[in-house]
Each structure stands twice: as structure tokens, then as C-alpha cells.
Amino acid sequence: MLVDCHSHVWAYPGHLSDDFVNEANARSRGHKLDLHIPPEKHLKAMAGVDKVIVFGLRARHSGLAVPNDYISNYANEHPEKVIGFGAIDPATDPIEEMLDEIVDLKLKGVKLGPIYQNIHPTDPRMMHVYAFCEAHHLPIMIHQGATFIRTGPLKYAFPIQLEDVAIAFPELRMIIAHLGHPWVAETLVLIRKHPHVYSDISALHYRPWQFYNSLILAKEYGVLDKILFGSDYPFTTPEAQIEGLRNINHFAEGTNLPRLSEEQIEGLIYSPTLKCLGLDGA
């Protein structure tokens, strides 16, 4: 089964600020991004996958405010395919109310992004969210890694800061987005020792040298089975991500550089995401 564990829907204008969209375009390697992604457009882009996890993001500091019912309405219309995650901005949202809303809307997980939200990942408000998610079997997708947003503090972005979370909440299922780039080694040592901490490869293929090195490092640490398939649509697509993966050995052609086997590549594409997240029933 092909599962995309990382994708977005949101309305622009409406859910994203002009500043966010302008900064995204300034960093988009020359092509203009279409960031108005209503459910219909998302569903079309996901024609090639069997299941897809979808979320918005809530981060007032960075100009993102996707309502949770926008996600749940979409997921409810396509229960066979679309798995909706809620989002909460622990820095500015009323935490109890939002968490209850996420449960009431039957969303299956929670998206967080401390660097976008301008909050330390172990701030007491964040710890409260983790405790709730652990108790309610809600996996979290956490953007712990760099971003293009100028006001996003990199000091809150180091993956290693999630170790205290994994120790405090050992049953919490957590995906560190984008291998925690550029701090991939921190992410790999973290997912190696904490059974319920995973990472995803979304949006990495367009830095092919870093992508190759990251996956070879993951192979050497023996953690390829903790890495889940995802695209980060609309920033890229599942097809482009698969192509990037199948081209991963490109740098090794005609050299003695290490390679991923075909089996390892296909294992990354068809990762057992739902089982890892305890969402087999979803």
C-alpha cells in the first residue's frame, strides 16, 4: 500500500498570510508556487496513492491558521482514502478547547511546528499537548528542522530537543518531518533509540546530494525501517518523490560509493506507515 504521510490543504487567501506566501515563493527555486490547495485539488494530486495523511498548520507567528473543520470535512468525505490530522498552535490557541475539538472532529493525529509557532518544543504548553496526544492515541507530525520563514527561530528547530519528549511520553507516536533537515544525523540517532519515534522523507529529493547522503547514513545506522514515505504536497508531489528515491544511486554510478538496494528503495516507498502510527484501522 502506498501511503503519503505528509501533505497539506489550505485556502489562499484565507488560511495563509501574504507574507507566508511571498516568503515561500522567494525560496521556491524559481518556480511560482500555487498555494491555494482546496480539497478537490489535493485529491487530484493524490490520485496515485492509496491513502494520504493531510493537515494544515496553525502558527500565528508565521501567518498560518487552517481551521480543523476544514480538514475534517475533507477527510469525512473520503474516509477510504483521506486521513485528517488536526493542528494546534500551543503558543496562541486555547489548548484544552482545541484538543477537545480535534477529538470531537475525529481527526486522527496532530500537526505541530515549533519553529513556525515560536515556541520551544519542550515548553510546558507543548508538553501538555504531547501528554494529551499520548493519552488519546493521537500520533503527532512535528516539523523539527529548518524553514524558509525569516522569523522562525532556528534555535527551536533542533531534532535532538525531542529526546526529552520521547522519554517523558514513551507511548507517543511521533514523526519528525523531513528527516529534521539539515540535522539529519540528530534525527537518525533519535529514531534509532526511541521505538515510537519515526521520520519522513518528504520534500528532500530536490536537494539530491543531501538526500543521497541522508539515506546512506540512515542505512549505516540501520534505521531505514523507521523512515516513512511522504511528499509535502503542494511543495512537491508523490510522483516526484518516488522518482527522486528511484534515482538515489545516481551519484554512485561508476564509483565505489555506497548504494541503497532496490529492496531498500521500494521499502521506503511502501513504508508500513499506518501500522507504525497505530492507524491500521483508519
Chain residues that interact with Zn ion, rule: CB under 5 A = 232
Least gap, CB of 6 to Zn ion (angstroms): 6
Instruction: Pick the closer one to Zn ion by CB: 130 or 233.
Output: 233
Least gap, CB of 147 to Zn ion (angstroms): 10
Residue matched to cell numbers 503558543: 91
Question: CA 109, CA 223: separation in Å to the nearest integer?
Answer: 23
**DSSP for 195-252, written as a single string:** TTEEEE-TT-TTSHHHHHHHHHHHHHHT-GGGEE----BTSS-HHHHHHHHHTGGGGG
Instruction: Pick the closer one to Zn ion by CB: 37 or 260.
Output: 37
Distances (CA, A) of 117 to 180, 233, 263: 16, 21, 38
Instruction: Pick the closer one to Zn ion by CB: 67 or 234.
Output: 234
Least gap, CB of 204 to Zn ion (angstroms): 12
Instruction: Pick the closer one to Zn ion by CB: 93 or 232.
Output: 232
Of 59, 43, 61, 60, give the one whose Cα is nearest residue 51. 43
Least gap, CB of 232 to Zn ion (angstroms): 4
Least gap, CB of 139 to Zn ion (angstroms): 15
Instruction: Pick the closer one to Zn ion by CB: 178 or 259.
Output: 178
Least gap, CB of 231 to Zn ion (angstroms): 9
Distances (CA, A) of 66 to 2, 45, 140, 222, 267: 26, 20, 17, 37, 33
Question: CA 244, CA 159: separation in Å to the nearest integer?
Answer: 24
- Ranked by CB distance to Zn ion, the top (closest) residue is 232
Instruction: Pick the closer one to Zn ion by CB: 9 or 133.
Output: 9
How many other β-carbons are positioned within 10 Å of the β-carbon of residue 121? 24
The distance in angstroms from the start CA to the end CA of the chain is: 13
Q: Please state whether the peptide bond connecting residue 238 to the residue before it is cis, i.e. omega within 30 degrees of 0.
A: no
Q: Please state whether the peptide bond connecting residue 13 to the residue before it is cis, i.e. omega within 30 degrees of 0.
A: yes
Least gap, CB of 143 to Zn ion (angstroms): 7
Cell numbers given for 201 = 522523507
Instruction: Pick the closer one to Zn ion by CB: 186 or 232.
Output: 232
